[in-house]
A and B are shown apart, each in its own frame.
Chain A
Amino acid sequence: MNSICLSLLPVIIIDVVGSVATVVLALLMVREGILYHRTDPEDPLRVYMVWFSLVLALFATSRFTGHILRYLVSFLGHPQWWRKIAPFSGTINTVSLLAIAVVTFFFRNVEAMVQRIRRDGRRLEAMSREILRLNETLPHFISSRIKMEMALRLAHEIRNPVMVIGNMTHKLLRECTAGGKIKERLGLILREAEKLEDLVYQFENTMDGKGPEFEAVDINEIGERVVEDHREMAQAKGIALVLDRWASPLLVQGNGALLVRAAAHLVQNALDACSSGNSVEVATRLTSRGIVLAVRDDGPGIPQEVIDELFGAAPHEAGKPHLGLPYVRRVVEEHLGRLEIESRPGEGTEARIILPTHLGELQKGGR
């Protein structure tokens, strides 16, 4: 069979030019990687890209060395040198291939890490905004509540002596045998005492549940709203989110917006703790302890020792920050209520917001 001889000149030219161009480009890539890294040196993706560009440069350099040196020693008339160099060049080339592969396999982990950092960052930003809003709202709320408590206490203090005066005057009127001016004056005192009592009663009615920060809030509506707000998120995670609503309105005196945020935190925490197939129930009910909004889940539960830490700013075992819980407690306590968390590992968690039925109870319960 006749054979033809093809010139290797095109191969050599492409080899030399390609090797040089690849090295130049790889070094430029290292430069880009370093510049990219400098924009945020702590970002794992940027660190990864520096490593990726470095191993690519190692690969390009090893190829350059292998190809160019081979031609160089041949053209210098010492092709036998190549036999000594080739094993080292080949080894470096093989190591560069493995190095680039090893770095590449980390891309997925780095990407997952980056997404997690960004997601947590967005969540922390949202939390910070919410905390800021709470910090702006809470002082007004506390001030209003203190004023209202003082006014109601004052009304209470006035009503008692007025009632005593009224009763005594009424008794004196019945026992009084004298007529004329004394009876007339006693009647006047009685009418004025009744007027004052009526005034105190009207004042109490006006203060109870009136004001820019205070209103009559139906806990059922809060439950409905938080369930509605989180329904989409629960569906996306495959979690059943249900509302067990008390049949009649459950009115408390408080700040609706703050109570909604507090309840939303509890639902959000329950959804975070649960996974697909779990369920979260928001229940409202009237008990002897007060009006209750409970968020119950059948997730993994929280060990007792972790429950105490939940109210601090420290992250819990899953690493998710619970910056909201101290604020939930603060909001509940500012409504003179209680926040309770009960959990059994493996069975689930129940968080309860317990609020007094009316402001009169606030004074009895104290803070």
Chain B
Amino acid sequence: MIIPFLILQFLLFSPSTALALQGHAGPEGLYIHLAAHIIFFVAMVSLAVWMRRSRLEPRRPWCIMACGAILMACWNAWAFMGHILADMIGEGGAQGLDPAQIPCLSIEGWRCLLFYILKLDHLVSFPAVCLFYVGLRRIRLHSQEGRP
């Protein structure tokens, strides 16, 4: 009986700083965004696998959507690398967007060149959304076949 009392007394009479709120530093935003990309990547790969394996009919539109999911997973990897490189080369890598002059990127090594290429990520994300659209449209049209 005495031991719990002593533990309680020790806890009550030896206070320290209570850290009720966790602080959030600036870089956390980038890490959360990168984590979201990883989750999105896993989700898209899973979706592609499930759509390929599913027995949903008709097969072709679902395969098209699975291809869209694969492309979207590729876009995630692409964007992920883009964010990493942007963080590595810093803001100074890209020149400011002055309306008076055409902005440019100073290429100082392969990282900057790769970053330049990775900035063209719409070349991957747009076809992915296209495939999703075409797949869904075909599924919808198939479902309406034979309906009055």
Residues of chain A at the chain B interface (Cβ within 8 Å): 1, 3-12, 14-15, 17-19, 21-22, 25-26, 28-29, 32-33, 35-36, 39-40, 45, 49, 53, 56, 60, 63, 71, 74-75, 77, 79, 87, 90-91, 93-94, 97-98, 100-102, 104-105, 107-108, 111, 114-115
Contacts and interface: CB of A to CB of B under 8 A. Distances in A.
Contact of A25 (B46, B47, B103, B133): B133
A3 B43 contact: no
A317 to B, nearest CB: 27
Given A28-B133, A39-B140, A71-B97, 10 more contacts: A7-B103, A12-B103, A14-B123, A39-B143, A87-B29, A90-B33, A100-B43, A104-B47, A107-B46, A115-B55
B105 A14 contact: no
Interface string B105-124: 11111001000100110110
B147 A39 contact: yes
B78 interface: no
Nearest to B113: A6
B28 to A, nearest CB: 11
Given A6-B107, A8-B94, A104-B43, A33 B136 contact: yes
Contacts of A107: 46-47, 50-51
A93 to B, nearest CB: 7
A98 B39 contact: yes
Contacts of B122: 14-15, 17-19, 22
A53 B132 CA distance: 9
Interface of B: 29, 32-33, 36-37, 39-40, 42-44, 46-47, 50-51, 54-56, 69, 94-99, 102-109, 112, 116, 119-120, 122-123, 125-126, 129-130, 132-133, 136-137, 139-140, 143-144, 147
Contact of B103 (A8, A21, A29): A8
Among B39, B47, B133, residue most surrounded by chain A Cβ atoms (within 10 Å): B133
A6 B36 contact: no
Among B33, B109, B112, B140, residue most surrounded by chain A Cβ atoms (within 10 Å): B140
Contacts of B106: 3-5
A98 B97 contact: no
A315 B109 CA distance: 70
Contacts of B139: 36, 49
Contact of A29 (B32, B105, B129): B129
Nearest to B120: A14
A27 to B, nearest CB: 10
A101 B104 CA distance: 35
Contacts of A56: 129, 132
Nearest to A103: B43
B54 A111 contact: yes
Given A32-B140, A74-B96, A111-B56, A101 B102 contact: no
A105 B116 contact: no
28 contacts: A3-B106, A4-B106, A4-B107, A5-B106, A8-B102, A14-B120, A14-B122, A14-B123, A17-B122, A19-B122, A25-B126, A36-B143, A39-B140, A39-B147, A45-B56, A49-B139, A63-B125, A77-B99, A79-B96, A90-B29, A90-B33, A101-B36, A101-B43, A104-B43, A104-B46, A105-B43, A107-B47, A111-B50
Contacts of B147: 39
Nearest to A101: B43
Nearest to B57: A118
B108 A1 contact: yes
Nearest to A21: B126
A102 B106 CA distance: 39
A107 B33 CA distance: 23
Contact of A22 (B50, B107, B119, B129): B129
B129 A97 contact: no
B126 A104 contact: no
A172 B139 CA distance: 94
B47 to A, nearest CB: 5
A25 B55 CA distance: 27
B56 to A, nearest CB: 6
Which 8 A-B residue pairings sit nearest by Cβ, starting from the closest?
A18-B122, A74-B97, A101-B43, A36-B140, A104-B43, A97-B36, A5-B104, A3-B108
A102 B22 CA distance: 26
